[in-house]
Structure 1
């Protein structure tokens, strides 16, 4: 893997204490109401910098980024934020409930050489999802204004010998956390600061030669690479310049708390959409059967299906009817994407993107025009969007016509598709919970 380093993080409270009212979820899961709620405590919450404008994930007015940069530097000047005197890495534990059970996910925050995506001797940085242009433009404008990486990239590594897991757990057992936070979702975030060079080296040695798989943060990692090019275009950039290093939280794939949730799709804006019209247009490719009950019943039926079979849950917003859709072919993308590996072609999310949307909805129900999307993670959020509300999942308000429910993408598929050099459609995975923003910031100057 690329070399890892401790870093002089920018933190609240000099890296100690309870920062519950100061940290925030990642910008891309927040809407205006969520931002306002975080700021209602009259505290200098990081969201005031990390989400300069709403809606998120698209380029906003220039002045909003300028204001974010000015606020960041003002907080550094007045002591709200401060930069560590000594470099460190940070053990990071999240304790959370998921599907009725408690879990703990453990990783390590550090910086890595920001290498271009792809395999390389000694380990590479491997993506698994395609990206959108809007979030990259937004994050690039914010990075230029703040000259900082405000939130960590979520990376996975194999840790086949368990050395990293053992070291992280040893650190967590040996001392109390230096930073803690709990937000509205009741996820407990705990951070241990490690500035002992021997322990930093032991952790780096444990990861030697491993690939890093990007779990979450493809747009932000790409933004960091673009920022390096931006600085290089202005003149020589030293090899040890802080911008050449990307802050990540690295989690072993064997961690028992590594949970992947679903990312459903809500489609809309189709001029010729009606449920019967959709069924007719899709009849060449899908068999349908109606599921009695509400959207929750449809999702429960979907989750109970065998993992090695493709099934999709279609929920019509207008009639509130649920349909089970099963492709008539076991490999419905084989003809169009013969060169792609089967691990990619049989992904539920790939079948939605390239069969349901691009081969059915766009040409047959929308005159070839693009379909509007949202990417909710729960049935409740699907229903919020169906009621016409904006939730932060994208798409705006009042556009929803058809929800497509999916099962979580398996971790094995993330690994196999990444190593094959392929990219899944956008928003194919949802690693729950998200990493908090504001526990540590990576200054790029």
Structure 2
């Protein structure tokens, strides 16, 4: 049962005055949106978004300047300019926002609001991946400089299967004319509704109160929220974080893998180090066919697809003695047998000796992009098979975190449709 056992320590969601683009002041809403900051990883993707519209949100979430401090000051200036010019405006009254994504066989609906960062936050919102301190520090500096939450993190919870409470509010709103509609270039249609009726807001909040949420996307932003709250020391607007909550009993998310590119490890060297430690077989392309072979092998144990030299090689059947020596004991079996665990603890650390730094490893959501980057740089792409959501949730409930970038839940909310100025109500 997806409850905390104490309703006073559950999900406390509140309305807020959303910060949104003024449609008449931009080319189109689709042209000013972006994927979450950590999905925009390639320079060509960043440049594409910057050129889509001079007011694209990427100029705020990934400002370009010399030093980190200069970048954050640039984002703060840009936000102030857009507010002064009327490109962005704060909604006149507090609302919970119902957000829908539809297309490509996907339908996802949920609530955007501000979540109270309670003292029991670590038992109410469950992380499942580790975070990097430097990324949290970077996001915290940007949030401080702009005084804003520029993109909601994605949380999931399991409702009771009835159309009541938050689910009822979501479904009623979806029958009304939307506040905005836009279709992004990935084919997804986005619709947003503002729920301003206090009775509906209270009904949604009451339905969420006994629930417990899993972080599906945004671990670093969640850690940043908690860090900024601790810094304040007194009650205030930083006690709340911008979130998008989806009931996966009604709208199951898709779970995809996040792939690695080992920038400084050539495929020949990677393969040579595997000799006698894993089984290695060449598999036929194209990429979708090779990924099919990876999926089949993953049914029987840890498996990876290596690329970067024009061929695909399936890596599986690890030496059991090697795993016994390299994978830490004293953790749940589900964690010890994760592909990401074996990759980081055994392959990267003990076999390939690749440090987990930005200079050595790139994390990409798109397998084709990972292969392309590896071939271009002379590195090795390590393609992964996704973990089941049930495994992720079970480990999170045990307080066990997975290696970072183990999963990619989606679809992710588009950045730029609704934001929050901290302190704006």
Name the TM-score, length of structure 2 as normaliser. 0.88
Give the C-alpha shift of residue 267 in structure 1: 1.8
Aligned residue number for residue 353 of structure 1? 344
1:51 and 2:62 matched: yes
Give the C-alpha shift of residue 105 in structure 1: 1.0
Give the C-alpha shift of residue 328 in structure 1: 4.1
Contact 1:14 1:81 in 2 (8 A): no
**Are residues 96 and 345 of structure 1, via their aligned partners in 2, closer, same or farther at CA, if it must alter by over 3 Å?**
farther
Aligned residue number for residue 108 of structure 1? 111
Give the C-alpha shift of residue 320 in structure 1: 1.9
**Are residues 276 and 249 of structure 1, via their aligned partners in 2, closer, same or farther at CA, if it must alter by over 3 Å?**
closer
**Are residues 210 and 33 of structure 1, via their aligned partners in 2, closer, same or farther at CA, if it must alter by over 3 Å?**
same
Cα displacement string for residues 193-236 of structure 1 (whole angstroms, at most 9, x for unaligned residues): 1011111111111112111111111111111222223333xxxx
Aligned residue number for residue 137 of structure 2? 137
**Are residues 94 and 51 of structure 1, via their aligned partners in 2, closer, same or farther at CA, if it must alter by over 3 Å?**
same
Aligned residue number for residue 375 of structure 2? 387
2:82 to 58, 75, 79: 75
Q: How far apart are the structure 1 equivalents of 2:305 and 2:221?
A: 32
Contact 1:295 1:322 in 2 (8 A): no
Partner SS for 2:317? strand
Q: How far apart are the structure 1 equivalents of 2:205 and 2:170?
A: 12
Cα displacement string for residues 256-307 of structure 1 (whole angstroms, at most 9, x for unaligned residues): 4511112122223148962541222xx23x2333323344332111123464
Partner SS for 2:38? helix
* Higher mean displacement: 348-357 or 32-41: 32-41
Aligned residue number for residue 395 of structure 1? none
Show the 5 A alignment for 1:277-292.
277-280=272-275, 283-284=276-277, 286-292=278-284
Matched positions, count = 409
Name the TM-score, length of structure 1 as normaliser. 0.84
Aligned residue number for residue 391 of structure 1? none
Q: Which protein is richer in helix relative to its size? A: 2
1:2 and 2:11 matched: yes
Show the 5 A alignment for 1:255-274.
255-270=250-265, 274=269
Give the C-alpha shift of residue 107 in structure 1: 1.0
Give the C-alpha shift of residue 2 in structure 1: 3.3
Aligned residue number for residue 245 of structure 2? 250
Cα displacement string for residues 230-259 of structure 1 (whole angstroms, at most 9, x for unaligned residues): 333xxxx3x2x2211001000112234511
**Are residues 276 and 5 of structure 1, via their aligned partners in 2, closer, same or farther at CA, if it must alter by over 3 Å?**
closer
1:296 to 284, 288, 298: 288
Aligned residue number for residue 327 of structure 1? 318
Aligned residue number for residue 420 of structure 1? 398
Partner SS for 1:375? strand
Q: How far apart are the structure 1 equivalents of 2:135 and 2:122?
A: 25
Aligned residue number for residue 6 of structure 2? none
CA RMSD of aligned residues (A): 2.8
Q: How far apart are the structure 2 equivalents of 1:293 and 1:11?
A: 45
Partner SS for 1:20? helix
**Are residues 117 and 270 of structure 1, via their aligned partners in 2, closer, same or farther at CA, if it must alter by over 3 Å?**
farther
Contact 2:112 2:244 in 1 (8 A): yes
1:312 to 287, 303, 308: 303
Aligned residue number for residue 29 of structure 1? 39
Give the C-alpha shift of residue 118 in structure 1: 5.6
